Amino acid sequence: MNILVCFKVVPDLDLMPGGDWNVDSRLRVETGYVKNIINPYDESALEIALQFADKADDDQCSPGLTALTIGDSKANLHLKTLRALSFDRAVRIDSKEDLRFRPETCAALISAYINKIGKNNVVIMGRQSGVGDNAQTPLICAEMMGWPCITQVSSIEPAAGACLRVTNLVDDGTCRQTIEPPCILAIGNAPNSYLRVPTLKDIKAHGQKPVEVIDAAVLMATGGQPALPGGCELLGIEAIDRRRSGIIIEGETAAEKTQALYYSYLKGWLAGI
Amino acid sequence: MKYKIVLNGCSSTYRIQAGETGAFIRNNLESQPGDGSTIVFYNDGAAKENLIAASPTTRLHLVKINSYRPEAVLTYLKELEYGIECDLYLFPGDYAGSELSTRFAARTGGSSIAAVDKIEPGSESLTCYRAIYSNYLRGRFRLGKKPFCLSIARGLSAGAPGNQIEKRQVTESDFWDLPENRFTRDCEFTAADPVGELGRAPFILAAGRGVKSREKTEMLGKIAKELGAELGVSRPVAMSAWAPLDRLLGISGTMARPKLCLAAAVSGAAAFYAGIEKSKKIVAINIDAQAPLVRAADVAIIDDYETVLKELVKLVQSGEPRE
Ligand SMILES: Cc1cc2nc3c(=O)[nH]c(=O)nc-3n(C[C@H](O)[C@H](O)[C@H](O)COP(=O)(O)OP(=O)(O)OC[C@H]3O[C@@H](n4cnc5c(N)ncnc54)[C@H](O)[C@@H]3O)c2cc1C
Ligand SMILES: Nc1ncnc2c1ncn2[C@@H]1O[C@H](COP(=O)(O)O)[C@@H](O)[C@H]1O
């Protein structure tokens, strides 16, 4: 089995100081001063792939693992960490394009990578990534590859006959199914899938291994399927004002404040329930 | 604008899908229920008369299938719609709807966008609004290529009144016999309540990462019971498995609409807030007066959540009994 995990590096938007959203004339948002993180669903995707490899190792059919991101050099540090975590390949498709709302371009690049270079037969992605919040890349990629796609996946385990045992949420319940690759799996909420941290030994053993960088234009020019035109263009951005009265209860002690909260507000509100 | 609504009649969420898509059309298109039509995929498990009775449009087309599989439904939908001119395909905001919408656009050469909260039709294009930047901002987009395929934002019109339509015109087809793309060797399905306790709760106690442990989260579950509330949690709490996933509030979990929400040790990230913003009243309990939730609450206490909640239980229990 040859597994590709796609991840995106995003600014940690929860660290943006309240209301401080500067949108420029090209509809870009200044987020340069907050730290970058791996998109939360992609973090789960990477950890689930590692857990899968751990289990498959026990069955002596260890899969190949590649981590791939599209973007600029901001991702390099994360790629190095993934290398130390024993991903066999860590690849960055170098692109300086504004891909925030271009899931079709991301999907085309990922498909081109699979077809031309990776020859992967299982692709694991996050269901949605911050900034663009498109929630479309895995689905478009599945269409481009002509592969099935399972969404809202919460766990993946090895199964007999080079198959996968996949658990995923559907609208009215949970499915556990045995799947024959090739397939695309989009990770949803998956408890206990925070990405592990490499040990010193990991870093010594793998940390210095190179990260591969591929130019997006070259990849597309040499055999990529053209992106399905998305036909979705960003026209404007507005901030959402969520303020309510935000009255802060005063008092000396927690008990005093709680009493004030209860008698001035909560008692009445609770009576209305 | 010619539109079609596509619903999954194999799912127990059918009424919710029909309610929210119907409300979306009423709120966004100056159109009569007769202008559009609905395509419903259903199988043996569904009662046809119920599907018809809840349909959001006068005209509906029932398509019988073997079982709901996105790959098969997409093949059938494309076959069904081949050569037919339609400007807009509208899908519900659930998992199935958002998947079909994107994939159907890819197959028909149309344009698609997920989780739309509002549209403004133009003559040749469609303006769509949706949350971006993890729900901190909202984007305005133009879709340029027909058919426009949209899924609507989750929780947008939950609880919308049913579709009041006198008489339906029903047509039917049967795709029962077509072969399916079988990549699944076997599948076990476990049903769950699609709305869930949190979706119905009038009073929610929400716990965030600041509660710090599984034991404390369990303690908050007990406090919730004592207060007569349901426990909800933020993503870090659910991800650490301190509480089950069906307790998650936010864009990735339940979009609740209680009368009252007490949020303890939650910072109020936009992705979380979306899950409680339809609350009539919000109370924040946080040690940090700068936490975003403090401003987005009606009232806030700046103090340790545990001390405050324990005191609150005493007050509530010593007060006059509630009906
Ligand atoms: C695509 C995407 C989807 C997401 N979906 C969701 C979602 O559906 N739901 C969700 O919740 N999040 C979601 N998130 C994550 C979200 O951005 C935040 O990371 C998360 O909501 C933060 O949770 P928290 O408030 O519990 O934790 P933190 O932000 O760590 O906040 C903890 C709070 O506890 C307070 N605190 C600490 N100790 C105490 C004490 N003793 N007493 C009182 N207060 C205390 C702190 O001051 C702090 O404000 C999503 C993120 C992304 C990118
Ligand atoms: N720039 C990118 N590089 C690598 N993977 C990406 C990129 N953008 C999106 N993806 C993948 O597609 C998923 C869904 O993203 P989106 O459609 O943008 O919400 C993400 O969780 C990633 O797995």
The DSSP output letter for B247 is G
Contact state of B187 with A233 under an 8 Å Cβ cutoff: no
How many A-B residue pairs are in contact by the CB < 8 A criterion?
A: 270
Residue from A147, A153, A206, A145 nearest A41 by CA:
A153
Residue percentage of chain B with pLDDT more than 70: 95
Q: If you average pLDDT over residues A78-95, what whole number do you get?
A: 95
Are residues B225 and B277 in contact, defined by beta-carbon separation less than 8 angstroms?
Answer: no
Residue percentage of chain A with pLDDT more than 70: 96
* A-proximal residues of B, 208-227, CB under 8 Å: none
Q: For residue B234, how far is its CA from the centre of ligand 1 (angstroms)?
A: 6
Does domain A2-221 fall under CATH 3.40.50.2300? My reply is no
Q: Under CATH, which architecture does the B196-318 domain have?
A: 3-Layer(aba) Sandwich (3.40)
**Domain coordinates of chain A in residue numbers?**
2-221, 248-273
Is residue B321 over pLDDT 60? no
Residue percentage of chain A with pLDDT more than 90: 83
Q: If you average pLDDT over residues A216-221, what whole number do you get?
A: 92
Residues of chain B contacting residue A262, judged by C-beta atoms under 8 Å apart:
312, 315-316, 319
Parallel, antiparallel or unpaired: strands B148-152 and B88-91: parallel
Confidence of residue B32 (pLDDT cuts 50, 70, 90): low
* pLDDT score of A174: 96
* pLDDT score of B322: 46
Are residues A99 and A70 in contact, defined by beta-carbon separation less than 8 angstroms?
Answer: yes
* pLDDT score of B180: 62
A136 part of contact set with chain B, CB < 8 Å: yes
Residue B215 to residue A139: CA distance in whole angstroms: 39
Is residue A164 over pLDDT 80? yes
- Write the single-letter amino acid at B268: G
Residue from A255, A233, A232, A214 nearest A94 by CA:
A214
Is residue A105 over pLDDT 90? yes
* pLDDT score of B186: 87
Residue B130 to residue B135: CA distance in whole angstroms: 9
* pLDDT score of A128: 97
Smallest Cβ–Cβ distance between B12 and the set A172, A174, A247 belongs to: A172
Residues framing ligand 1 (Cβ under 6 A): A 14, 40, 128, 130; B 134, 208-210, 234-236, 248-253, 265-267, 269, 271-272, 275, 285-288, 291, 304-305
Instruction: Tell me the pLDDT tens digit for each residue of B176-208.
Output: 766 665 688 888 999 999 889 999 999 999 999
Residue spans in chain B of domains classed CATH 3.40.50.620: 3-174
Residue B108 to residue B103: CA distance in whole angstroms: 9
A124-138, B46-60, B88-102, B209-223: the lowest-pLDDT one: B46-60
* pLDDT score of B323: 41
* pLDDT score of A48: 98
* B-proximal residues of A, 206-225, CB under 8 Å: none
* pLDDT score of B268: 96
Confidence of residue B218 (pLDDT cuts 50, 70, 90): very high
Mean pLDDT, chain B, as a whole number? 92
Q: If you average pLDDT over residues B271-300, what whole number do you get?
A: 97
What does CATH list as the number for B3-174? 3.40.50.620
Contact state of B11 with A172 under an 8 Å Cβ cutoff: yes
Rg (CA), chain B: 22
Is residue B320 over pLDDT 60? no
From the CA of B239, which ligand is nearest? 1
* pLDDT score of A7: 98
Instruction: Tell me the pLDDT tens digit for each residue of A5-58.
Output: 999 999 999 998 777 799 999 999 999 889 999 999 999 999 999 999 999 876
Strand partners, B254: B249
